[in-house]
A and B are shown apart, each in its own frame.
Chain A
Amino acid sequence: EVQLVETGGGLVKPGGSLRLSCAAVGLTFRGARLNWVRQAPGKGLEWVSSISHSSSHIYYIDSVKGRFTISRDNAQNSVYLQMNSLRAEDTGVYYCTRDGSFGMDVWGQGTTVSVSS
Chain B
Amino acid sequence: AIQMTQSPSSLSASVGDTVTISCRASQGIRNDLGWYQQKPGKAPKLLIFAASTLHSGVPSRFTGSGSDTDFTLTISGLQPEDFATYYCLQDYDYPFTFGQGTKLEIK
Nearest residue (CB) in B for A107 is B43
A28: interface (CB < 8 Å):
no
A89 within 8 A of B: no
List 24 interface pairs A-B (beta carbons < 8 Å), by A numbering: A44-B87, A44-B98, A44-B99, A44-B100, A44-B101, A45-B36, A45-B38, A45-B44, A47-B89, A47-B95, A47-B96, A47-B98, A50-B96, A60-B95, A61-B95, A102-B50, A102-B53, A103-B34, A103-B46, A103-B89, A104-B46, A105-B55, A107-B43, A108-B43
| Besides A35-B96, A103-B34, 12 other A-B contacts (C-beta < 8 A) | A44-B98, A45-B36, A45-B98, A45-B101, A50-B94, A50-B96, A95-B44, A102-B53, A104-B46, A107-B45, A108-B43, A109-B43
> What residues of A have a CB within 8 angstroms of the CB of B44 in the complex?
37, 45, 95, 104, 107
CA distance A108 to B84 in the complex (A): 18
Contacts from B to A (Cβ < 8 Å): 34, 36, 38, 43-46, 48-50, 53, 55, 87, 89, 91, 94-101
A44-B98 Cα distance, complex, nearest whole Å: 8
User: What is the total number of residues of chain A having a CB less than 8 Å from a CB of chain B?
Assistant: 21
Contact of A110 with B43 in the complex, beta carbons under 8 Å = yes
* A62 CB, nearest partner CB in chain B, Å: 7
